[in-house]
Amino acid sequence: MNIIFCEDYEEMSRKAAAVIASQIILKPDSTLGLATGSTPIGLYDELVKKYNLGEISFSRIHTYNLDEYIGLAPTHEQSYAYFMNHHLLGKVDINMSNTHLPFGFAKDIEQECRNYTSKLASVSGGLDFQILGMGHNGHIGFNEPDSKFILDTHCIELTKETIEANSRFFGHIDLVPRSAITMGIRPIMNSKQVLFIVNGSAKAEILEKALFGDVTPNVPASILQMHRSLTVVADREALSVVQQLHPEQIY
C-alpha cells in the first residue's frame, strides 16, 4: 500500500489525474474501472483538461462503472450514466460503445446483474486500473457493510446512512432511490491496480479503519488491504487519523 498525502482536494485531484494519465500514456488501450460521487469530480475535470491539451486520448480506452441506481433512466440527472457523460465521457474522444455501466432501468434486474458480471469476466486479466471513492460507512461502489463480501454484481438495498448522505444530490431524501446495482468485490480485487481517493474530515476515522483495521465486510473498503497494488491519494483532513496513529505509513 502506498499512501500519498495531499494538502487539499485540488492537490488530490491533480495527483490522482497524474496517476491515471500515466496509465493511459503507458497503455493507451487500458480498461478503467470508474467511480461516481463528489470525490472523483476534480479528478475527471483534470483528465478532461489533459485531454484538451492533447496530453492523453481516450480513443482506445474501455471503461466499466462500479454501480447505478435502480429505477433511474440514464437521462435522469442523478443517474450515474448521466454523471459520467457530464463529467468525463461526453467530454473526451472515447468511443461510447466501449463504456459500460449497469443499466438501472432494466426490466429484469437479476438478469442485468448476470449480464454485467459476464461483461466484467470477459475483461481478460482484470481491469487495468480501478478508481474508487468511499462512502461514509466504508462502502465501495454500493457494496454496503454486510456480514459477508459479495463477489459478483448484485442488487443492494441502500443503508439509511447512504440514502441520507446521497440525499444532498437529490434535493429531498424521499427522491433518493432505495436500491442500486453494484459491481461486487471480485472485479475490484482482480483489478491490476486500485486508485483509492478520499477527502474530507468526515471520512478520517473510517479511512483509518479501512486501511489499518480488521479486514471485515462491515467495513467493505477494508478488503483493499489485501489488494496487490493499492495507491491511496487522500487529503490532509481525510488522513488526519492515519497521520496520528500511523505517521510512518504516509509519503
The catalytic residues are 67, 137, 139, 144
For residue 117, give the C-alpha cell: 458480471
In the numeric block, the cell 458480471 is attached to 117
In the numeric block, the cell 440527472 is attached to 77
Residue 23 binding ligand GLP, by CB under 6 A: no
**Measured from the CB of residue 33, what is the shortest distance to ligand GLP in angstroms?**
11
The piece of 15-23, 43-51, 105-113, 128-136 that touches ligand GLP (CB under 6 A) is 128-136
Between the alpha carbon of residue 174 and those of residues 46, 77, 86, 147, 168, the distances in Å are: 33, 16, 24, 27, 11
Residue 231 binding ligand GLP, by CB under 6 A: no
36 half-sphere exposure, CB direction, 13 A CA radius = 26
Give strand ranges (E) for the chain: 2-6, 31-34, 62-65, 67-69, 99-100, 129-132, 154-157, 179-182, 193-198, 230-235
Residue 66 binding ligand GLP, by CB under 6 A: yes
**Measured from the CB of residue 54, what is the shortest distance to ligand GLP in angstroms?**
29
Q: Which residue is nearest to ligand GLP (CB)?
A: 37
Instruction: Sort 26 into a burial class: Cβ within 10 Å, 0-12 / 13-18 / 19+.
Output: exposed
The piece of 23-31, 37-45, 88-96, 170-178 that touches ligand GLP (CB under 6 A) is 37-45
116 half-sphere exposure, CB direction, 13 A CA radius = 31
Residue 207 binding ligand GLP, by CB under 6 A: no
Task: Count other Cβ atoms within 10 Å, centred on residue 153.
Answer: 26
- How many residues sit close enough to ligand GLP to count as binding (CB under 6 A)? 14
Report the side by side order of strands in the sheet with 99-100.
Answer: 2-6, 230-235, 193-198, 129-132, 31-34, 62-65, 99-100
Binding mask 149-168 toward ligand GLP (x if CB under 6 A, else -) reads: -------------x---x--
**Measured from the CB of residue 251, what is the shortest distance to ligand GLP in angstroms?**
22
Cβ-based nearer residue to ligand GLP, 56 or 181: 181
Taken as a whole, the chain contains a residue count of 251
Residue 141 binding ligand GLP, by CB under 6 A: yes
Binding mask 68-97 toward ligand GLP (x if CB under 6 A, else -) reads: ------------------------------
Among 32, 35, 188, 194, the residue binding ligand GLP under the rule CB under 6 A is 35
Among 44, 142, 206, 239, the residue binding ligand GLP under the rule CB under 6 A is 142
Residue 195 binding ligand GLP, by CB under 6 A: no
- Which residues here bind ligand GLP, judged by CB under 6 A? 35-39, 66-67, 133-135, 141-142, 162, 166
